[in-house]
Each structure stands twice: as structure tokens, then as C-alpha cells.
Structure 1
């Protein structure tokens, strides 16, 4: 048995437990917990049974299992990048609204102090 067949499942189980703890404490949503759990389960499956990636690859018309894993990893990273971009954009809008509101409140209070 190869060393990655032992190390990757252990790391994956630890990651699933961490995400479960974060979900239970309210830091992650259930959908986030579910997506990450599925991703880590696939890591466990592919590390214990490396030939199983061929089954998934052939289902999508890809000839090699490693190519399938790399493509899925890239798609997953692009998805996470898009989600991060969306969240940062929303945070930037919220900060702009907050700054405008604080500026308007300070302008009103400055006018009151001058009188």
C-alpha cells in the first residue's frame, strides 16, 4: 500500500471533522459543509482506490483518470474563485454604503455643533 493511500484519507477525515465542527458552531452553512464533505470523500475514494478515477473519467469521455482529477480540481478552484469574487464584491458594496452613511451622519452632526 502506498503512503498516500494512508495519509490522504487521514487528512480527509480530519478536514471533514473540522468542517462539521464549523457547521455545528454556525461558522459554515450546511451547503458549504456538504460541498466540502463530498470533495473530501472523493479524495478518500481516489486515494484508496486510484483506479476508480478511470470509471469517472470514462463516464465524462476522458481517457485517463489523472486527467479527470486535474480537470475536476481546476473546475472546483474556478468555482471557489468565482464565489470569493462575488463575496468580495458584496462586501465592497456594503463598505461603500456604510462609509456614505457615516459621512452623512458626521456632516449632519458637524452642522449641529457649529450653531
Structure 2
């Protein structure tokens, strides 16, 4: 058995435990934990049984297992980028609202001091 076929499942198990800990401390949502756990389990299966990727690839009409893995990783990365973009956009909107509220409250308090 190759080194990575032992290392990847161990790292995946540690990551799943960490994700569960974050969920129990209400830092991650259940859907996030489930998605990452499924992804990590798939990575572990492919590390232990490398030919399984070819079997899955043929189910989706892809000829090589490595191509299938690259497509899956690319899809996960794109999903993560879109999720981060959405969160950043939402944070920018919240910051703008807070700055406007603070500016308006300071304007009112400054007028009160002048009178």
C-alpha cells in the first residue's frame, strides 16, 4: 500500500472530526459539514482504491479516472469561490449600512452640540 493511501484517509478523518467540532460549536452549518465530509470520504476511497475513480468516471462518461478527479476538484473549488464571493459581497453591504448609520447618528449628535 502506498504512503498516500494511508495518509489521505487519516487526514480526512481528522478533518471530519474538526468539522463536527465546528458544527457542535455552531461555527459551521450542517450542510457545510455534510458536503465536506462527503468530499473527504470520496478522497479517502480514491486514495485506498485508486481504480475506483475509473469506475466512477465511466459512469459519468469520462474515460480516465484522473480526469474525473480533476473535474470534481475543480467543481468544489468553483463552489467555494462563489460561496466566498457571496459572503464578501454580503459583508460589504453590511459594512456600508453600518457606516451610513454611524455617519447619520454622528451628524445628529454634532447638530445637538452646536445648538
* TM-score (normalised: structure 2): 0.98
- Corresponding residue number in structure 2 for 1:107: 107
- Corresponding residue number in structure 1 for 2:90: 90
Shift of 1:110: 0.3
d(CA) in 2 for partners of 1:35 and 1:109? 49
> How many correspondences in the alignment?
115
- Corresponding residue number in structure 2 for 1:44: 44
RMSD: 0.5
d(CA) in 2 for partners of 1:79 and 1:26? 22
Shift of 1:55: 1.3
Deviation by residue 1:33-62 (Cα, 9 ceiling, x = unmatched): 101100100011000011110111001110
d(CA) in 1 for partners of 2:94 and 2:48? 45
Q: Is 1:67–2:67 an aligned residue pair?
A: yes
Q: Could you list the structure 1 runs, at least 4 aligned residues long, displaced by more than 2 angstroms after superposition.
A: none
- Corresponding residue number in structure 2 for 1:6: 6
Alignment of 1:19-30 (within 5 A): 19-30=19-30
d(CA) in 2 for partners of 1:28 and 1:70? 26
* TM-score (normalised: structure 1): 0.98
**Secondary structure in structure 1 of the residue aligned to 2:26:** coil
d(CA) in 2 for partners of 1:93 and 1:27? 22
